[in-house]
Structure 1
Amino acid sequence: MPDKLYRDVCETVGQVRGLLENLQLLGVRHLPPAVPTEDLPVCVTSQDSGDGAGPCRPESLEEIRADLGDCQRCMLCEKREHIVFGCGSAAARLVLVGEAPGREEDKQGMPFVGEAGRLLDRMLFAMGLGREDVYICNVLKCRPPGNRDPQSEEIAACEPFLIRQLAAIRPRVIVGMGRFAVQTLLREKQAVSRLRGQWREYEGIPLMPTYHPAYLLRNPASKREVWEDLKQVMGRLRGSDA
């Protein structure tokens, strides 16, 4: 055995022996067997694991998508082409939440495609990120007819799945994009222009409200404000690297 490996093994054995001796001094005589992760109950929200009810595991995104199924929970199911669940990394530190699928998203089953999606890609690139590094989804999973504002019963049917997605991913930061997404997440009626740039929280996770990429296509002068918002997000993410 190489000398370095031998020293490392001896050091580890010494640390384990010391830990066991300390436990013995504390009166611990038996260690409970480890519970397999898959046997733990599911954490439905991000706060469940800390509520004193015992250990639990987050759902996987695959489990949540399977539960959503061919969703018939509201009337939006009647005219949609595809459910737009979300895409990106299940281990993302940053989740971007938009309003609802548009026409192209409904056709492709993917969030933020088309011209607004290409602008979002450029915004991510400027942050040093790609779609594979973040998770992107919407408050609603189905397109409202004519891209109208979602109705309260549609939000009530769909938002629990967003909450479960966030609990599964456990991101460090959320970016809420667009009037409807921001007002829904924050339970606010103020204009995004008054809410953007100020840190808030959703499900206990820091949230930065900002404009939707589609809005920036119509109002390019607001790109500077969004970049200021995203710089705050980048700073928060860098601060969580440790």
Structure 2
Amino acid sequence: MIQARDMNPAELAALLAFHAEAGVEWLLEEEPVDRIAAFAAEKAARQTSRSTASPSASAGGVTAPAAGRSPPSRGPAADQRQQSRPQPSQSSALPAIPDENAVAEARFAAESARSLAELRTAVEGFASCNLKTSARSTITAAGTASSGIMVIGSMPSADDDREGLPFSGRAGLLLDRMLMAIGQTRESVLITTIIPWRPPGDRMPSAPETAICRPFIERQIALVEPRQVLVLGNFAARFFFGETGTIHALRGKWREIGSGDETLPAMATLHPQELLAAPASKALAWMDLLAFSERLPRG
């Protein structure tokens, strides 16, 4: 078997691209390594080394400080050197976990944006969500806001995270064909996702993660003021409709999303990724698209 050390840079790049396309996210050793046992062995070795070094130090005339006696001062120069050394920061290594303060911070950042460009900057600069720490890209809206048509999916896929655009890869190509079937393109509508960052392993976002992303998508809709919204997939349908049914129960019906007097007509259908996994459902999606297109402006 060819080892990585025997490959040139171009071959290594091609191998990594192949793994990424296959969905590989973590590179592992060929043999399992017990890190806990290795740490315990290192700790035991250090203790043994210290215990064997103590008698030799006493024999050389060096004695340990007596109990209760302070060690000798190192002098101002040594103290200054110690203070100048960078101290490890435990908090900087930990991912930010969404909580009530983080949700309030997201709401303030979203409401402060007066345009889609400002909102994009706010989302890209937001650092209080743990999803951002594992994602490569921040996914924001793409297309034309003035069309009055929004297409909203659930969360970025691995292809989206890699390309930095919503609905990339095979699912994006299928969405392009779905839009073309009703006389639209991805450039003529506004395409976005509820969650701006891809969850690790394409898992479902947790309730706290969803809560922290909600202000951003709600502000996005308020700024665009679409005439109608196409909701894609199970997660997105439940998010907007507040119901727990599957996409097969929620699809194909016009509903109102929003609150108070500011509501918008929306229809849910299957996500392109779901259609790739179950091609037989394309007939259902086609029926939904026909019903959605009936309200599109003609001409």
Please indicate the TM-score interval, normalised by the length of the shorter structure: 0.7 to 0.9
| Aligned partner of residue 221 in structure 1, secondary structure | helix
Is the Cα–Cα contact under 8 Å of residues 74 and 153 in structure 1 kept in the other structure?
no
Partner Cα separation in structure 2 for residue 207 and residue 219 of structure 1: 24
2:241 paired residue among 179, 186, 193: 186
Asked if 1:201 is matched to 2:256, the reply is yes
SS of structure 2 residue aligned to 1:69:
helix
1:222 is aligned, of 281, 292, 298, to: 281
Shift of 1:71: 2.1
Q: 1:224 aligns to what SS in structure 2? A: helix
Q: How does 1:166-177 map to 2 (within 5 A)?
A: 166-177=221-232
TM-score by length of 2: 0.59
Q: Which whole-Å CA distance do the structure 1 matches of 2:123 and 2:200 have between them?
A: 20
Aligned partner of 2:139 among 84, 87, 93: 84
Q: Partner residue of 1:95?
A: 150
| CA contact 2:123–2:138 (8 Å) conserved in 1 | no
**TM-superposition CA deviations, 1:138-190 (whole Å, max 9, x none):** 11000000000011111111111111111111111111101111111111110
Matched, 1:125 2:125: no
2: CA distance, partners of 1:214 / 1:221: 13
Amino acid at match of 1:78: T
Q: Which runs of 5+ in 1 are unaligned?
A: 1-43, 46-57
RMSD over equivalenced CA pairs, Å: 1.7
* CA deviation after TM superposition for structure 1 residue 196, in Å: 0.5
Aligned residues: 185
Higher radius of gyration, 1 or 2: 2
Task: Output the CA distance in 2 between the equivalents of 1:67 and 1:114.
Answer: 26
2:204 match: secondary structure: coil
In 2, are the aligned partners of 1:59 and 1:164 still within 8 Å (CA)? no
SS at match of 1:133: coil
Distance 1:132 1:69 in 2: 22
Equivalent residue, structure 2, for 1:146: 201
Deviates more, 1:66-75 or 1:224-233: 66-75
* 1:54-73 equivalence runs, <5 A: 59-73=114-128
Identity of aligned residues (%): 38
Deviation at 1:59, TM superposition (A): 2.8
Q: Distance in 1 between matches of 2:235 and 2:146?
A: 26
The normalised TM-score by structure 1 is: 0.73
Question: Aligned match of 2:129 in 74, 83, 100?
Answer: 74
> Cα deviation per residue 1:91-130 (whole Å; 9 max; x = unaligned)?
1221111110011101111000000100000011111111
**Residue 70 of structure 1: CA displacement?**
2.4
Q: For the residues of structure 2 that align with 1:222 and 1:169, how far apart are their CA atoms?
A: 31
Aligned-partner Cα distance in 2 for 1:182–1:192:
7
Tell me if 1:107 matches 2:162. yes
| AA in 1 matched with 2:289 | L
State how far apart, in whole Å, the 1-side matches of 2:175 and 2:123 are. Answer: 26
State the shift of 1:218 in Å: 1.4
Task: Give the deviation of 1:232 after TM superposition.
Answer: 1.2
Q: Which has the higher contact order (CA 8 A, sep 6+)?
A: 1
Q: 1:162 aligns with which of 188, 196, 217?
A: 217
Native 8 Å contact 2:124 2:138 kept in 1: no
User: Does structure 1 conserve the Cα–Cα contact (< 8 Å) formed by 2:252 and 2:287?
Assistant: yes
Aligned twin of 2:63? none
Residue 69 of structure 1 deviates from its aligned partner by 3.0
Runs of 4+ in 1 over 6 A off after TM superposition: none
Task: Indicate the larger mover: 176-185 or 66-75.
Answer: 66-75
Q: What is the one-letter code of the residue matched to 2:285? A: V
Q: Which residue of 1 aligns with 2:292?
A: 233
| Residue aligning to 1:55 | none
